[in-house]
Structure 1
Amino acid sequence: MSIRPFRVADALALREVFASSVHGLACRDYTPAQCRAWAPVLDAKAQHAWCEAMARRQPFVVEVGGVIAAYADLQDDGLIDHFFVAAPYAGQGIGRRLLGHLQAEATARGLPRVYADVSLCAEALFAHLGFEVEARRLVLLRDETFANARMAWPVPALAHGEGRP
Protein backbone atom coordinates (compact mmCIF):
# COMPACT_ATOMS: atom_id res chain seq x y z
CA MET A 1 0.00 0.00 0.00
CA SER A 2 1.24 3.47 -0.85
CA ILE A 3 -0.18 6.95 -0.35
CA ARG A 4 0.66 9.57 -2.95
CA PRO A 5 -0.54 12.96 -4.18
CA PHE A 6 -3.39 13.24 -6.70
CA ARG A 7 -2.68 13.17 -10.43
CA VAL A 8 -5.15 14.60 -12.95
CA ALA A 9 -5.44 11.17 -14.58
CA ASP A 10 -6.80 9.79 -11.26
CA ALA A 11 -10.05 11.76 -11.29
CA LEU A 12 -12.42 9.23 -12.86
CA ALA A 13 -10.88 6.35 -10.91
CA LEU A 14 -11.59 8.33 -7.73
CA ARG A 15 -15.21 8.58 -8.85
CA GLU A 16 -15.29 4.78 -9.02
CA VAL A 17 -13.87 4.56 -5.48
CA PHE A 18 -16.50 7.05 -4.31
CA ALA A 19 -19.37 5.11 -5.92
CA SER A 20 -18.04 1.79 -4.61
CA SER A 21 -17.78 3.20 -1.10
CA VAL A 22 -21.27 4.69 -1.10
CA HIS A 23 -23.06 1.78 -2.80
CA GLY A 24 -20.96 -1.00 -1.25
CA LEU A 25 -20.30 0.26 2.29
CA ALA A 26 -22.53 3.19 3.21
CA CYS A 27 -25.51 1.15 2.03
CA ARG A 28 -25.34 -0.58 5.42
CA ASP A 29 -26.41 2.66 7.13
CA TYR A 30 -28.34 4.48 4.40
CA THR A 31 -31.26 3.47 2.18
CA PRO A 32 -30.88 2.64 -1.52
CA ALA A 33 -32.59 5.94 -2.38
CA GLN A 34 -30.13 7.85 -0.19
CA CYS A 35 -27.18 6.07 -1.82
CA ARG A 36 -28.50 6.85 -5.32
CA ALA A 37 -28.85 10.52 -4.33
CA TRP A 38 -25.38 10.59 -2.80
CA ALA A 39 -23.60 8.86 -5.69
CA PRO A 40 -25.77 9.10 -8.80
CA VAL A 41 -24.72 7.96 -12.27
CA LEU A 42 -22.92 10.87 -13.94
CA ASP A 43 -23.43 12.14 -17.47
CA ALA A 44 -20.47 13.59 -19.41
CA LYS A 45 -21.02 17.12 -18.08
CA ALA A 46 -21.16 15.90 -14.48
CA GLN A 47 -18.04 13.77 -15.02
CA HIS A 48 -16.19 16.87 -16.22
CA ALA A 49 -17.35 18.79 -13.13
CA TRP A 50 -16.19 15.88 -10.93
CA CYS A 51 -12.73 15.95 -12.53
CA GLU A 52 -12.45 19.70 -11.96
CA ALA A 53 -13.54 19.31 -8.33
CA MET A 54 -10.92 16.62 -7.69
CA ALA A 55 -8.23 18.86 -9.21
CA ARG A 56 -9.26 21.62 -6.78
CA ARG A 57 -9.35 19.28 -3.77
CA GLN A 58 -5.95 17.69 -4.50
CA PRO A 59 -6.64 14.52 -2.52
CA PHE A 60 -4.17 11.93 -1.35
CA VAL A 61 -4.55 8.64 -3.22
CA VAL A 62 -4.03 5.15 -1.83
CA GLU A 63 -2.81 2.46 -4.21
CA VAL A 64 -2.74 -1.25 -3.46
CA GLY A 65 -0.89 -3.30 -6.04
CA GLY A 66 -1.12 -0.45 -8.54
CA VAL A 67 -4.90 -0.10 -8.11
CA ILE A 68 -6.49 2.98 -6.57
CA ALA A 69 -8.24 1.75 -3.41
CA ALA A 70 -9.03 4.95 -1.48
CA TYR A 71 -8.62 8.70 -1.41
CA ALA A 72 -9.09 11.65 0.92
CA ASP A 73 -8.34 15.35 0.93
CA LEU A 74 -7.26 17.85 3.56
CA GLN A 75 -8.21 21.46 2.85
CA ASP A 76 -6.29 24.51 4.08
CA ASP A 77 -8.81 25.16 6.87
CA GLY A 78 -8.53 21.58 8.17
CA LEU A 79 -11.64 20.24 6.41
CA ILE A 80 -11.59 16.66 5.20
CA ASP A 81 -14.16 17.05 2.44
CA HIS A 82 -13.84 13.59 0.86
CA PHE A 83 -12.75 10.38 2.59
CA PHE A 84 -13.61 7.17 0.73
CA VAL A 85 -12.35 3.59 0.60
CA ALA A 86 -13.57 1.30 -2.20
CA ALA A 87 -15.75 -1.52 -0.88
CA PRO A 88 -13.39 -4.39 -1.85
CA TYR A 89 -10.66 -2.80 0.29
CA ALA A 90 -12.73 -2.23 3.43
CA GLY A 91 -11.54 -3.81 6.65
CA GLN A 92 -7.88 -3.96 5.62
CA GLY A 93 -6.63 -0.95 7.61
CA ILE A 94 -6.49 1.32 4.58
CA GLY A 95 -8.90 3.89 6.01
CA ARG A 96 -7.00 3.94 9.31
CA ARG A 97 -3.67 4.52 7.54
CA LEU A 98 -5.14 7.17 5.26
CA LEU A 99 -6.72 9.07 8.15
CA GLY A 100 -3.45 8.82 10.07
CA HIS A 101 -1.69 10.27 7.02
CA LEU A 102 -4.10 13.21 7.02
CA GLN A 103 -3.46 13.76 10.73
CA ALA A 104 0.30 13.78 10.11
CA GLU A 105 -0.19 16.18 7.21
CA ALA A 106 -2.28 18.51 9.40
CA THR A 107 0.46 18.44 12.02
CA ALA A 108 3.12 19.25 9.41
CA ARG A 109 1.02 22.15 8.10
CA GLY A 110 0.52 23.53 11.60
CA LEU A 111 -3.27 23.34 11.45
CA PRO A 112 -5.01 23.85 14.80
CA ARG A 113 -7.74 21.28 14.07
CA VAL A 114 -9.04 18.84 11.49
CA TYR A 115 -12.76 18.35 10.97
CA ALA A 116 -15.15 16.45 8.73
CA ASP A 117 -18.82 15.74 8.21
CA VAL A 118 -18.61 12.00 8.78
CA SER A 119 -21.08 9.40 7.54
CA LEU A 120 -22.56 6.89 9.95
CA CYS A 121 -20.40 4.10 8.52
CA ALA A 122 -17.13 6.03 9.03
CA GLU A 123 -17.86 7.45 12.47
CA ALA A 124 -16.25 4.57 14.42
CA LEU A 125 -13.00 4.87 12.44
CA PHE A 126 -12.76 8.62 13.03
CA ALA A 127 -13.53 8.16 16.75
CA HIS A 128 -10.87 5.43 17.03
CA LEU A 129 -8.27 7.92 15.77
CA GLY A 130 -9.21 10.63 18.25
CA PHE A 131 -11.96 12.57 16.49
CA GLU A 132 -14.86 13.69 18.67
CA VAL A 133 -18.44 14.45 17.68
CA GLU A 134 -19.13 18.19 17.74
CA ALA A 135 -22.67 17.98 16.38
CA ARG A 136 -25.18 15.52 14.95
CA ARG A 137 -26.61 16.77 11.68
CA LEU A 138 -29.30 16.09 9.12
CA VAL A 139 -28.24 17.05 5.60
CA LEU A 140 -30.53 17.38 2.56
CA LEU A 141 -29.08 16.22 -0.77
CA ARG A 142 -31.14 15.65 -3.93
CA ASP A 143 -34.38 15.36 -1.92
CA GLU A 144 -32.92 12.82 0.51
CA THR A 145 -32.08 13.51 4.16
CA PHE A 146 -28.89 12.03 5.59
CA ALA A 147 -27.75 11.74 9.20
CA ASN A 148 -24.08 12.43 9.79
CA ALA A 149 -21.79 13.86 12.44
CA ARG A 150 -19.49 16.86 12.43
CA MET A 151 -16.35 15.41 14.01
CA ALA A 152 -13.11 17.18 14.87
CA TRP A 153 -9.59 16.34 15.97
CA PRO A 154 -7.53 19.01 17.73
CA VAL A 155 -3.98 18.90 16.40
CA PRO A 156 -1.70 18.50 19.44
CA ALA A 157 -0.42 21.90 20.63
CA LEU A 158 3.26 20.97 20.44
CA ALA A 159 2.76 20.13 16.79
CA HIS A 160 2.21 23.74 15.87
CA GLY A 161 4.84 25.34 18.05
CA GLU A 162 2.99 26.07 21.30
CA GLY A 163 4.60 25.12 24.57
CA ARG A 164 8.15 25.10 23.25
CA PRO A 165 10.85 27.12 25.04
Structure 2
Amino acid sequence: MRVRAARADELPALLAIFRAAVRTTAAGDYSAEQIDAWSPPHWPSAQCEAWIERVRALHPFVAELDGVLAGYADLQDDGLIDHFYVSPDFARRGVGAALMAQLLACARERGLHALRSHVSRTAQPFFARFGFEVVAQRRPLVRGVEVPNAEMRLSLGAGERA
Protein backbone atom coordinates (compact mmCIF):
# COMPACT_ATOMS: atom_id res chain seq x y z
CA MET A 1 0.00 0.00 0.00
CA ARG A 2 1.21 3.47 -0.83
CA VAL A 3 -0.02 6.71 0.76
CA ARG A 4 0.79 9.91 -1.09
CA ALA A 5 -0.59 13.32 -1.98
CA ALA A 6 -3.56 13.23 -4.34
CA ARG A 7 -3.07 14.48 -7.87
CA ALA A 8 -5.55 16.89 -9.46
CA ASP A 9 -6.59 14.32 -12.06
CA GLU A 10 -7.58 11.90 -9.27
CA LEU A 11 -10.19 14.13 -7.64
CA PRO A 12 -13.14 12.67 -9.61
CA ALA A 13 -12.09 9.24 -8.30
CA LEU A 14 -12.17 10.64 -4.76
CA LEU A 15 -15.74 11.76 -5.35
CA ALA A 16 -16.59 8.17 -6.34
CA ILE A 17 -14.92 6.88 -3.15
CA PHE A 18 -16.85 9.40 -1.04
CA ARG A 19 -20.16 8.47 -2.64
CA ALA A 20 -19.55 4.72 -2.33
CA ALA A 21 -18.44 5.03 1.30
CA VAL A 22 -21.52 7.04 2.24
CA ARG A 23 -24.05 5.14 0.15
CA THR A 24 -22.69 1.65 0.97
CA THR A 25 -20.53 1.61 4.11
CA ALA A 26 -22.53 4.14 6.15
CA ALA A 27 -25.90 2.80 5.01
CA GLY A 28 -26.05 0.41 7.96
CA ASP A 29 -25.91 3.29 10.46
CA TYR A 30 -28.13 5.88 8.77
CA SER A 31 -31.59 5.92 7.24
CA ALA A 32 -32.12 6.08 3.49
CA GLU A 33 -33.29 9.68 3.90
CA GLN A 34 -30.08 10.59 5.75
CA ILE A 35 -27.89 8.84 3.17
CA ASP A 36 -29.69 10.63 0.32
CA ALA A 37 -29.17 13.98 2.06
CA TRP A 38 -25.47 13.27 2.69
CA SER A 39 -24.83 11.98 -0.83
CA PRO A 40 -27.81 12.43 -3.16
CA PRO A 41 -28.36 9.59 -5.64
CA HIS A 42 -27.95 11.94 -8.62
CA TRP A 43 -25.62 14.93 -8.60
CA PRO A 44 -25.72 17.56 -11.33
CA SER A 45 -22.32 18.17 -12.91
CA ALA A 46 -22.12 21.62 -11.28
CA GLN A 47 -22.49 20.01 -7.85
CA CYS A 48 -19.77 17.46 -8.69
CA GLU A 49 -17.45 20.25 -9.82
CA ALA A 50 -18.10 22.24 -6.63
CA TRP A 51 -17.35 19.15 -4.52
CA ILE A 52 -14.12 18.52 -6.44
CA GLU A 53 -12.97 22.12 -5.98
CA ARG A 54 -13.69 21.95 -2.26
CA VAL A 55 -11.70 18.73 -1.87
CA ARG A 56 -8.87 20.10 -4.02
CA ALA A 57 -8.47 22.87 -1.42
CA LEU A 58 -8.11 20.24 1.34
CA HIS A 59 -4.94 18.78 -0.27
CA PRO A 60 -5.88 15.18 0.55
CA PHE A 61 -3.70 12.13 0.77
CA VAL A 62 -4.71 8.99 -1.09
CA ALA A 63 -4.10 5.35 -0.26
CA GLU A 64 -3.29 3.29 -3.31
CA LEU A 65 -3.53 -0.48 -3.15
CA ASP A 66 -2.56 -2.66 -6.09
CA GLY A 67 -2.52 0.45 -8.28
CA VAL A 68 -6.10 1.44 -7.37
CA LEU A 69 -7.18 4.37 -5.21
CA ALA A 70 -8.68 2.80 -2.11
CA GLY A 71 -9.32 5.77 0.16
CA TYR A 72 -8.41 9.34 0.99
CA ALA A 73 -8.10 11.69 3.96
CA ASP A 74 -6.86 15.17 4.74
CA LEU A 75 -5.33 17.03 7.66
CA GLN A 76 -5.80 20.77 7.89
CA ASP A 77 -3.28 23.10 9.53
CA ASP A 78 -5.54 23.58 12.56
CA GLY A 79 -5.72 19.80 13.20
CA LEU A 80 -9.09 19.24 11.53
CA ILE A 81 -9.56 16.01 9.61
CA ASP A 82 -12.30 17.15 7.26
CA HIS A 83 -12.57 14.10 4.98
CA PHE A 84 -11.67 10.48 5.74
CA TYR A 85 -13.22 7.91 3.42
CA VAL A 86 -12.33 4.36 2.35
CA SER A 87 -13.88 2.62 -0.62
CA PRO A 88 -16.14 -0.23 0.47
CA ASP A 89 -14.24 -2.37 -2.07
CA PHE A 90 -11.18 -2.07 0.18
CA ALA A 91 -12.77 -2.19 3.64
CA ARG A 92 -10.87 -4.01 6.38
CA ARG A 93 -7.66 -4.20 4.34
CA GLY A 94 -5.61 -1.66 6.30
CA VAL A 95 -6.44 1.34 4.11
CA GLY A 96 -7.88 3.41 6.94
CA ALA A 97 -4.98 2.51 9.25
CA ALA A 98 -2.45 3.55 6.60
CA LEU A 99 -4.22 6.87 6.06
CA MET A 100 -4.45 7.51 9.81
CA ALA A 101 -0.73 6.73 10.21
CA GLN A 102 -0.01 9.34 7.52
CA LEU A 103 -2.17 11.93 9.25
CA LEU A 104 -0.58 11.26 12.63
CA ALA A 105 2.91 11.54 11.12
CA CYS A 106 1.96 14.86 9.49
CA ALA A 107 0.50 16.10 12.77
CA ARG A 108 3.78 15.35 14.53
CA GLU A 109 5.78 17.06 11.76
CA ARG A 110 3.57 20.14 12.04
CA GLY A 111 3.79 20.20 15.84
CA LEU A 112 0.04 19.94 16.32
CA HIS A 113 -1.25 19.45 19.86
CA ALA A 114 -4.55 17.81 18.90
CA LEU A 115 -6.57 16.44 16.03
CA ARG A 116 -10.34 16.71 15.69
CA SER A 117 -12.98 15.55 13.28
CA HIS A 118 -16.74 15.32 12.84
CA VAL A 119 -17.06 11.56 12.67
CA SER A 120 -19.97 9.51 11.36
CA ARG A 121 -21.57 6.82 13.49
CA THR A 122 -19.96 4.29 11.16
CA ALA A 123 -16.41 5.62 11.63
CA GLN A 124 -16.51 6.32 15.38
CA PRO A 125 -15.20 2.87 16.43
CA PHE A 126 -12.33 3.21 13.94
CA PHE A 127 -11.32 6.66 15.25
CA ALA A 128 -11.65 5.39 18.85
CA ARG A 129 -9.11 2.64 18.11
CA PHE A 130 -6.58 5.40 17.45
CA GLY A 131 -7.35 7.15 20.75
CA PHE A 132 -9.91 9.70 19.59
CA GLU A 133 -12.58 10.50 22.16
CA VAL A 134 -16.07 11.84 21.65
CA VAL A 135 -16.28 15.40 22.96
CA ALA A 136 -19.76 16.25 21.63
CA GLN A 137 -22.67 14.64 19.86
CA ARG A 138 -23.71 16.71 16.85
CA ARG A 139 -26.94 16.85 14.86
CA PRO A 140 -26.12 18.90 11.78
CA LEU A 141 -28.71 19.46 9.08
CA VAL A 142 -27.66 18.36 5.61
CA ARG A 143 -30.05 19.42 2.87
CA GLY A 144 -32.67 19.87 5.59
CA VAL A 145 -32.17 16.39 7.09
CA GLU A 146 -30.52 15.70 10.46
CA VAL A 147 -27.40 13.54 9.91
CA PRO A 148 -25.92 12.89 13.38
CA ASN A 149 -22.20 12.58 13.99
CA ALA A 150 -19.78 13.13 16.83
CA GLU A 151 -17.01 15.61 17.31
CA MET A 152 -14.03 13.49 18.22
CA ARG A 153 -10.65 14.71 19.47
CA LEU A 154 -7.23 13.20 19.92
CA SER A 155 -4.76 14.97 22.20
CA LEU A 156 -1.19 14.49 21.12
CA GLY A 157 1.17 14.27 24.06
CA ALA A 158 4.54 16.03 24.10
CA GLY A 159 6.29 12.77 23.25
CA GLU A 160 4.11 12.33 20.18
CA ARG A 161 4.84 15.83 18.91
CA ALA A 162 8.60 15.40 19.14
Q: In the alignment, which residue of structure 2 is the partner of 1:98?
A: 99
1:98-142 superposed Cα distances (whole Å, 9 cap, x missing partner): 112111110111011100000000000100011111111111101
Which residues in structure 2 correspond to 1:152-163 (within 5 Å)?
A: 152-160=153-161
Moved over 2 A (4+): 158-161
Q: Is the 8 A contact 2:20 2:88 kept in 1?
A: yes
Which residues in structure 2 correspond to 1:144-155 (within 5 Å)?
A: 144-155=145-156
Which residues in structure 2 correspond to 1:99-138 (within 5 Å)?
A: 99-138=100-139
1:159 positional shift: 3.8
1:64 positional shift: 1.0
**In structure 1, what residue type is equivalent to 2:156?**
V
Is structure 2 residue 80 aligned with structure 1 residue 79?
yes
Is structure 2 residue 71 aligned with structure 1 residue 70?
yes
Give the TM-score normalised by the residue count of structure 2. 0.95
Q: In the alignment, which residue of structure 2 is the partner of 1:16?
A: 16
Using the alignment, how far apart are the partners of 2:130 and 2:159 within structure 1?
Answer: 18
Q: Is the 8 A contact 1:24 1:87 kept in 2?
A: yes
Using the alignment, how far apart are the partners of 1:120 and 1:71 within structure 2?
Answer: 18
1:48 positional shift: 1.5
Number of residues paired by the alignment? 161
1:158 positional shift: 2.8
Is structure 2 residue 28 aligned with structure 1 residue 28?
yes
Please give the secondary structure, in 2, of the residue aligned with 1:91: coil
1:50-80 superposed Cα distances (whole Å, 9 cap, x missing partner): 2211210000001111111100000010000
Please give the secondary structure, in 1, of the residue aligned with 2:93: coil
Q: In the alignment, which residue of structure 2 is the partner of 1:7?
A: 7
Q: Is the 8 A contact 2:107 2:161 kept in 1?
A: no
Using the alignment, how far apart are the partners of 1:6 and 1:33 within structure 2?
Answer: 31
Please give the secondary structure, in 1, of the residue aligned with 2:43: coil
**In structure 1, what residue type is equivalent to 2:15?**
R
Using the alignment, how far apart are the partners of 1:160 and 1:29 within structure 2?
Answer: 34
Q: Is the 8 A contact 2:112 2:156 kept in 1?
A: yes
**In structure 2, what residue type is equivalent to 1:121?**
T
Where does the alignment leave 5 or more consecutive residues of structure 1 unmatched? none
Where does the alignment leave 5 or more consecutive residues of structure 2 unmatched? none
Please give the secondary structure, in 1, of the residue aligned with 2:139: strand
**In structure 2, what residue type is equivalent to 1:29?**
D
